[in-house]
Amino acid sequence: MKKLLILGGGTAGTMMANKLAPVLDKNEWQITVVDQEETHYYQPGFLFIPFGIYTREDVIKPRHDFFPSGVEVIISPIEVIEPDANRVKLSNGRVLNYDYLIIATGSHIEPEETEGLKDGGWRENIFDFYTLDGAVALSNYLKYWKGGKMVVNIVEMPIKCPVAPLEFVFLADWWFTEQGIRDKVEIEYVTPLPGAFTKPIASRFLGQFLEKKNIKLTPEFSTGRVDSGRNKIISWDEKEIDYDLLVTIPTNMGSEVIARSGLGDDLNFIPTDPHTLMAKGYDNIFVIGDATDLPSSKAGSVAHFEAEVLFENFLRKIEGRELLPKFDGHANCFIESGFGKGILIDFNYDVEPLPGKFPLPGVGPFSLLQETRMNHWGKMMFRWVYWNLLLKGAELPIEAEMNMAGKMRA
Amino acid sequence: MATKTLAGKTVEVDEEGFLVNPDDWTEEMAPLLAEQVGIYELTDRHWEVIRFMRKEYKERGQIPTVRRIKNVGGIPTKELYELFPEGPAKKAAYIAGLGKPQGCV
């Protein structure tokens, strides 16, 4: 019996189990998935919770609902991966041997990395929305907030879903308008990047949106510490920014188990071949999703495109064939822009987000780098797609490799 | 490709002035590159960072991040920002003759 072990039952790990279970012969293969939690979180939904659009119940389901029969699912933290012995030790004492390992242990926020961030103000007037508890706490706070200065701060890059903080300020602008207190709220967007986003054309386009919505952009601010007694964030070079309400996107890191296993870089992300998705230095370990060190976005759409490539490469690997260097860094992100509208961007390692049209068979073209109602509708529809199609490994009418059709170069 | 002459040697540079080939770099070029980014004196601590970056690049093929310079190179981030104000990873890479550090997406 050959053993495939998948570490992490989030978006990427669940997709891989669902794609591989039907094609690997049950008499020859045992597939095991390990995750530390019973609950599967729809992470793209966290963004909507602070504004009362989604509740906690809208973004959680039991993890067990999403695995095919025949896949062994173990709920336990992981103690250590021992790649030289082809085995994994779990915190519950079990030792799992494997022939092939897929690491999908994701990324998470580490507020402790920033001095002062978890001092007195944490969950008082400092919140995150990258955890469910943080998003719910912020929702409760905003319900009764009378206004003041809200600072949204990206501590350092890379972060999961790099458009989410922008979406947050766009939605906040809309929500405060709805509440009738927009004139009492000052919004400042503080980022270590040189502009609103990572890539030049999208950065200019989204920068104009910030301006239009009267959101102040402070670029090139690398947060060194937080003084929650004086309500200030302070950069490494001693620039200070005041806040009444701080919405922080703390340092994002890969799982601790990656560090314990000596497999990661300084942020616990795993060095991964950018095109085949094989862990560098190993020939029976693949890495997928946020756990990689790839210069692609850490996002569900990226995990989805990686899953298509990894599925093919996994089957090639076990049949002794060469891996295909097919992953191109493709990402496809709906950016909620408030007032019932959205923006769509589609890009990869080499091609930055461009304006134009994005063809989607059966649904119709979406507009790229333009604000439309259709894009907002695409974003809201995605939750259903996620639970019902994406996690189950169904074919979606969108190719893993980025396509230039419809895109326009200036 | 643009070129510039540093310490008597003509080297290829990109549009922002970063050396294209790290092997072209010599220690004599460092003070000249430093001046171009507004650093007029290279102290021993500057050199510690520059040498660490060169060594990392040679061994790992990657320009170290601010976090790695702290964790492995032993230079606290606060001090690194004092040594190379406004974007230490980028400035130190520039002076060390390495390419522009890859931005994150």
Average pLDDT over residues B17-38: 95
A138 and A247, same structural domain? yes
Is the pLDDT at B104 greater than 80? The verdict is no
Average pLDDT over residues B76-98: 94
A196 and A80, same structural domain? no
Tokens of residue A61, six digits: 């389901």
**Domain contains A22:** yes
User: A89: closest CA among A181, A210, A192, A7?
Assistant: A7
**Domain contains A403:** no
**Separation of alpha carbons A43 and B84, rounded Å:** 37
Q: Do A237 and B105 touch (CB under 8 A)?
A: no
**Domain contains B72:** yes
Decide the pairing of beta strands A2-7 and A100-103: parallel
- Residue A133: predicted pLDDT: 98
The alpha-helical segments, DSSP class H, found in A156-271 are 164-178, 200-212, 256-260
Query: Which residue of A236, A265, A296 is in closest CB contact with B105?
Result: A296
* CA neighbours closer than 13 Å in the CB half-sphere of residue B16: 12
List of residues 6+ apart from A372 with CB closer than 8 A: A341, A342, A343, A366
* Start-to-end Cα distance in chain A: 55
- Number of folded domains in chain A? 3
Instruction: Write phi, then psi, for A32 (nearest 5 degrees).
Output: -125, 135
Lateral strand order in the sheet of A366-368? A331-338, A341-347, A366-368, A356-358
Interface residue ranges in chain A relative to chain B, Cβ cutoff 8 Å? 157-158, 162, 193, 198-199, 220, 222, 224, 236-237, 265-267, 295-297, 329, 331
A370 and A240, same structural domain? no
Query: Which residue of A158, A236, A296 is in closest CB contact with B81?
Result: A236
Strand partners, B12: B3
**Separation of alpha carbons A47 and A130, rounded Å:** 8
**Domain contains B75:** yes
**Domain contains B80:** yes
Distance from CA of B43 to the nearest CA of A (A): 19
Look up the domain containing A358 and give its range. 331-390
pLDDT confidence bin for A395, thresholds 50/70/90? confident
Average predicted confidence (pLDDT) for chain A: 96
**Domain contains B105:** no
**Domain contains A194:** yes
Query: Which residue of B68, B78, B103 is in closest CB contact with A266?
Result: B68
**Domain contains B102:** no
Question: Catalytic: which of B40, B86, B104, B105?
Answer: B104
Catalytic (active site) residue B92: no
Is the pLDDT at B101 greater than 90? The verdict is no
**Domain contains A288:** yes
**Domain contains B87:** yes
Residues of chain B with Cβ-Cβ distance to A297 below 8 Å are 105
Look up the domain containing B9 and give its range. 2-95
**Separation of alpha carbons A243 and A232, rounded Å:** 6
- Number of folded domains in chain B? 1
Query: Which residue of A237, A267, A295 is in closest CB contact with B81?
Result: A237
Instruction: Write phi, then psi, for B50 (nearest 5 degrees).
Output: -60, -45
A217 and A115, same structural domain? yes
pLDDT tens digit string along A175-222? Answer: 999 999 999 999 999 999 999 998 889 999 999 999 999 999 999 999
Long-range contacts for A264-267 (Cβ within 8 Å, ≥24 apart)? A264/A293, A265/A293, A265/B68, A266/B65, A266/B67, A266/B68, A266/B71, A266/B72, A267/A158, A267/A293, A267/B67
The alpha-helical segments, DSSP class H, found in A327-371 are none
A13 and A104, same structural domain? yes
Residues of chain B with Cβ-Cβ distance to A224 below 8 Å are 77-78, 81
Q: Are A29 and A1 in contact (CB under 8 A)?
A: yes
- Chain A to chain B Cβ contacts (< 8 Å): 39
- Cα distances from A383 to residues A112, A128, A138, A339, in angstroms, run 31, 21, 21, 19
- Residue A399: predicted pLDDT: 87
One-letter amino acid for residue A393 of the chain: G
Distance from CA of A226 to the nearest CA of B (A): 14
- Residue A353: predicted pLDDT: 94
Residues of chain A with Cβ-Cβ distance to B86 below 8 Å are 220, 237
Interface residue ranges in chain B relative to chain A, Cβ cutoff 8 Å? 65, 67-68, 71-72, 77-78, 80-82, 85-87, 102-105
| Host H or E run for residue A15 | helix A11-20
Average pLDDT over residues A281-308: 96
A121 and A241, same structural domain? yes
Q: CATH number, domain at A301? A: 3.50.50.60
Peptide linkage before A295 cis (omega within 30 of 0): no
A289 and A227, same structural domain? no
**Domain contains B101:** no
**Domain contains A187:** yes
**Domain contains A400:** no
- Residue B1: predicted pLDDT: 73
pLDDT confidence bin for A63, thresholds 50/70/90? very high
Q: Do A220 and B65 touch (CB under 8 A)?
A: no
Chain B residue with Cα closest to A202: B105
- Report the C-alpha dihedral over residues A400, A401, A405, A410, rounded to 10 degrees: 120
pLDDT confidence bin for B103, thresholds 50/70/90? low
- Residue A410: predicted pLDDT: 64
Final residue belonging to a domain, choices A231, A251, A271: A251
pLDDT confidence bin for B49, thresholds 50/70/90? very high
User: A225: closest CA among A109, A110, A113?
Assistant: A113
Tokens of residue A258, six digits: 């990656």
User: A250: closest CA among A137, A345, A113, A360?
Assistant: A113
**Domain contains A276:** yes
A247 and A114, same structural domain? yes
**For A251, which DSSP code?**
P
A182 and A172, same structural domain? yes
Decide the pairing of beta strands A100-103 and A107-109: unpaired
User: A344: closest CA among A352, A334, A353, A354?
Assistant: A334
Average pLDDT over residues B67-76: 95
* Start-to-end Cα distance in chain B: 26
- Residue A363: predicted pLDDT: 79
Q: CATH number, domain at B26? A: 3.30.1420.10
Tokens of residue A355, six digits: 């304006």
- Residue B86: predicted pLDDT: 83
A174 and A94, same structural domain? no
**Domain contains B104:** no
A119 and A88, same structural domain? no
A244 and A115, same structural domain? yes
- What distance lies between CA A94 and its chain's CA centroid? 30
Give the residue carrying structure tokens 């080939």.
Answer: B21
User: A15: closest CA among A263, A301, A380?
Assistant: A301
Distance from CA of A344 to the nearest CA of B (A): 16
**Domain contains A399:** no
Average pLDDT over residues A293-298: 94
Distance from CA of B39 to the nearest CA of A (A): 15
Instruction: Write phi, then psi, for A316 (nearest 5 degrees).
Output: -65, -40
Is the pLDDT at B105 greater than 60? The verdict is no
